[in-house]
Structure 1
Amino acid sequence: MATDDTPTRQTVRAYHEARFRGDVAAAAARIGEGFLFRSPFITSDSPTGHLDGIDGLLGIVTGVELISELYGETEATLVYDIHTAPALGITQRTAEHFRLHDGRITAITLIFDSAPWQAIMAAAGPTRDEGVPAP
């Protein structure tokens, strides 16, 4: 786990922490020009579009456990578990890769096994045009 407080770490951790407390404005403030987000469920080029529905996700999340964080000058990778309410019983191992330019996040690739979420997404029905919120 990284112990040095580099600009990359400061930006990525601020984004991560803001997102998981539901502070879309603070998370979006870390996003730079030309932003692109990709996950198993959505692709977005909006600084806030990929965070639409975060309140719904956070409503079922009981905790986020950071497992590993790796930082370079212009990239970072976080690996963490998302723990959900007992009714769902999902612990989602997630990897998130970030690209940065001039101290801002320009790309995020979210990697996780979407299989446990398929039935939940189907039961939720149609969502916004961009897709559904991803963990």
Structure 2
Amino acid sequence: MGEQRTPAEVASAFIEAFGGGDMAAVADLLAADVTFESPRVALTGAGSVLAAMGEFAQVVNGVSIVAVVGDAERAMIMYDMATGPFGTLRAVDHLVVRDGRIVADTLVFDTYEVRKAMEASA
């Protein structure tokens, strides 16, 4: 087995897999006890996080990474996420990575377009 990926490399692989709808690759990067927090939900456990991400991934048409920075345990990745119903959303994930797996993910994005679309469909 080769050298372990840096948190920045894990972050890039994670977002690219998510943007490409490769939920198996996303699952491989999540620790069993991962915590996830976004403007809409807070979850614990790989199963719950993967289910929520898989549901949202259905409306994602792709991602374009803007920047990635990291240190020995954390990474922050900014990307544009193209979606059908919400247009392009700029998002930032702050990830904590241990042993090559994501143990915590804090996602931040402007929720205006999402809220606007949900109110219109209600």
**Structure-2-length-normalised TM-score:** 0.79
State the distance in 2 between where 1:54 and 1:107 align: 14
Are residues 118 and 106 of structure 1, via their aligned partners in 2, closer, same or farther at CA, if it must alter by over 3 Å? same
Are residues 124 and 34 of structure 1, via their aligned partners in 2, closer, same or farther at CA, if it must alter by over 3 Å? farther
State the distance in 2 between where 1:14 and 1:45 align: 21
Quote the residue 1:101 is aligned against.
98
State the distance in 1 between where 2:55 and 2:69 align: 28
* 1:89 Cα deviation after fit: 5.8
Quote the residue 1:128 is aligned against.
none
RMSD: 2.5
Gaps of 5+ in 2: none
CA contact (8 A) 1:15 1:28 kept: no
Identical-pair percentage: 28
Q: 1:58-78: per-residue Cα shift (whole Å, max 9, x none)?
A: 443333111000011100000
**Structure-1-length-normalised TM-score:** 0.73
Are residues 55 and 36 of structure 1, via their aligned partners in 2, closer, same or farther at CA, if it must alter by over 3 Å? closer
Residue 93 of structure 2 aligns to which amino acid in structure 1? E
Q: Between Structure 1 and Structure 2, how many residues are aligned? A: 119
Are residues 118 and 11 of structure 1, via their aligned partners in 2, closer, same or farther at CA, if it must alter by over 3 Å? same
CA contact (8 A) 2:34 2:44 kept: yes
Structure with the larger strand share: 2
Residue 107 of structure 2 aligns to which amino acid in structure 1? L
User: 1:1-135 maps to which residues of 2 (within 5 A)?
Assistant: 6-52=5-51, 54=53, 56-85=55-84, 88=85, 90-122=87-119
